[in-house]
Amino acid sequence: MIALPSFLNFRRRAPKVPAAANAKPERERILIIRLGALGDLVLCFQSFHEIREAHPRAEIALLTAPAFAGFAGKMPWFDRVIVDPRKPAWDLPAWLRLIGDIRRFRPTRVYDLQCKLRQNLLYALLGGPLGPEWSGAAPFCSHPRFDPPKPGMHVSEFWAAQLQLADVPQQPLVDLKWLDAPLDGFILPERFAVLIPGCAPHREYKRWPASKYAELAQKLREKGIASIAVGTSQDAGAISALRVGAPQVADFSGRTSLLQLAAVLRRATCVIANDTGPAHIAAAVGAPTLALMSEQVDAAWSAPRGPRSAWLQGKPLATLGVDKVLLALTDLLDRTGA
């Protein structure tokens, strides 16, 4: 844990007030802010767990984006989910509704794991230094984080450092047994690779070519490993293009919930994926995961994290060769005993 110099320690100390003889202590209400995307939420699992362990009797709410409210509701760390519709600053009615929802929750402490201008505005609207205790980057908040990150630091380590400055102890690796679901109706081969060729539609630079995924699937087939392609319905085009060159690849796009997707990934011999949310789920649940990263991102900062994960970066990504990917995958499987 990094200690702040005393003259930089802005933590607010509440005045001690004698409690009435029969008064019951007020239950803590903790608000965590993390809007998304999916990969960012997955990378926060350890932080969510540590906050819950630090506040075992508190009522904890997650403030997140509408797309992730249902998923967040299945997580074991939260008592409720508050949705931020992410309307623009000039949409006053939407802001009033959001502030009203948060004020009705009456948080006593906020852990801001988003730390953007929008959250600084929320901090000000909730009272600034006179409002709830606040861990984050807002000016004069009670528990400021260190900025900037250390060189080579992963974002999950950055969040861990932020929480330590807010007196949240580190914990052993979180148990993700809840991230699973029955796979009735799905037929899985004995040994199979999961291919994740899609990504956000507006981030084409994160896509390894479908033709190369097809070539990789053929080489895996020669080694006795079948292939399944997964993704949302938006990824159907990328998977169709992959299957032109490798028609034996099973198409699971749009067929699984996030919990079922995690169940498939848990059972995979290996996962080869673009830099997208399901890759983070694969790494988190312990699947041997090789993430293919673009040169336009800082892979050391944002790559999927897990006990059996690795990443390979192309400069640009489209130039990354199939043989190089297969070699990195073989090395990963050898190192992890998969």
- Residue 113 CA to residue 75 CA, distance in Å, equals 17
- Residue 135 CA to residue 166 CA, distance in Å, equals 6
DSSP 286: T
Distance set, CA 126 to CA 12, 107, 108, 132, 223 (Å): 16, 10, 11, 8, 59
State the span(s) of the chain assigned CATH 3.40.50.2000. 27-165, 192-336
Architecture of domain 192-336: 3-Layer(aba) Sandwich (3.40)
**Crossing angle for the helix pair 236-245 and 210-222, nearest 10 degrees?**
50
Q: What is the mean pLDDT of the chain?
A: 91
Q: What is the CA radius of gyration of the chain?
A: 22
* Residue 7 pLDDT: 33
Q: Other CB atoms closer than 10 Å to residue 170's CB: what's the count?
A: 12
Q: Find out if CATH 3.40.50.2300 is the number for domain 27-165.
A: no
Whether 5 shows a pLDDT value over 50: the answer reads: no
Whether 152 shows a pLDDT value over 80: the answer reads: yes
Whether 23 shows a pLDDT value over 80: the answer reads: no
* Banded pLDDT at 233 (limits 50, 70, 90): confident
CB 151 within 8 A of CB 257: no
For 21-30, 239-248, 317-326, which range has the lowest pLDDT when averaged over its residues? 21-30
pTM (2 d.p.) = 0.90
